[in-house]
Amino acid sequence: MKSIFTAFFLTLSSFLGAQVNPKFQTKLDQQAKGMEQKVIEWRRHFHQYPELSDQEIKTASYVVQHLQSLGLKVQTGVAKTGVVALLETGKPGPVIALRADMDALPVTERNGLPFASKERAIYNGQETGVMHACGHDSHMAILMAVAEILAKNKNELKGTIKFIFQPAEEGSVNGQEGGANLMVKEGVLDNPKVDVVFGMHIQSMTPVGNIAYRPAGLMAASDWFSIKVKGKQAHGAAPWMSIDPIVVSSQIIIGLQTIISRQSELTKEAAVITVGKIQAGIRENIIPEEATFAGTIRTLDAGMQDKIHEKIKLTATKIAESAGATAEVTIERKTPITYNDPVLTAKMLPSLKRAAGENHVIEIHAVTGAEDFAFYQQKVPGLFFFVGAMPSGIDPANAPSHHTPDFMIDEQGFIIGLKAMLDVTTGYMFMKKINE
């Protein structure tokens, strides 16, 4: 253990911190403030015209038009609808990737905003509203502003900046491959090879002006599971002639919760098993032959993740067997743990504090939400952080959460997100080693 800490501090002490010219930083701050209204206008456009995962065609076109107007090299159609742009300074330096996600959710908006979405779509065979119910609209608007400001100051920068506008962060439909995982496979971190990646997420439950971060595991791994229970069909008036898959499914669902409450070492890390979908039967007086249900698993430790997978399979099959039914369990690993490189996080903390203020950068506990930004972090050091945008006057316990029809954010939070992305970019770009 001692050697690990020694290596950490030796690595950290080999850096003197960001050597950004204070006058240059002040100029960037002023330009960021000057673009605040434009960021709001871009965000409202994206919010009013959202598109689902892998369908972000108009969204991507809007982004491309802006990036091309800045004179950047732009590549389209990455991971289906993704956009990647390069700002090349022509001077030696690091390759820094900045990422924003583009997709919206199958949620019908009801928050009463004047620019609320009225878009409709078919999702999993059902008609639904489409809404930016997670803040991806603000991520795109902020990164567009970052690109404009950095392009305007190209002569004072060094190295290369890669702007990644990613589709399908919420997951591709019908089990298709997409999002960050597909972007990585298609080489988004190569040509030129990326040294470091930064990303942020607006937060409706964090007060405006605050940045929240955590070294190491910030967000959970996300796995999806499906369980098909097969029994014996019978008339609802004679349940003894059946093997009721609905009752068996109910028992399995309750049994799954004991995996968390009684079989998982929760003092080590948090874990969650949630059933979000149940399908069975077609008529009130018929006990069906089959029932299926599905849900998600969230873990922050790889060992616990493997153990919970095993326990789910054991619990489902044995409970079904005890009733004379069978259970088929399918588990799909979707998203890894969002892991902030500890050395990188420590190095960039001064940049975050500069953006928000010393007392407004808060280290938090890990959260059980998931982010496919993790796929970039598996390949290169990365830092992902939260930017507060909770509407004023709201109790955090009652703030509208992400992925809900009432989701709402305070646009005053955008300026901190914009400054933070500029500061971590220039902070890393001008980080000096002792031997330089």
Which positions are annotated as active-site residues?
103, 169
In which residue are the tokens 């059980």 written? Answer: 368
3-state secondary structure of 414: helix
Q: Residue 271: enclosing H or E segment and its boundaries? A: strand 271-280
In which residue are the tokens 């190569």 written? Answer: 190
**Cβ atoms 168, 79 nearer than 8 A:** yes
DSSP count for the chain of H helices, then E strands:
11, 20
**Cβ atoms 121, 52 nearer than 8 A:** yes
Sequence letter at residue 184 = V
Tell me the C-alpha distance between 334 and 371, whole Å.
10
Going from the C-alpha of 194 to that of each of 161, 300, 417, the distances in angstroms are: 9, 26, 22
195 alpha carbon, distance to own chain's centre? 21
What backbone phi and psi angles, to 5 degrees, belong to 121? -160, 170
Tokens of 155: 């002569």
**Cβ atoms 63, 165 nearer than 8 A:** yes
What backbone phi and psi angles, to 5 degrees, belong to 341? -55, 120
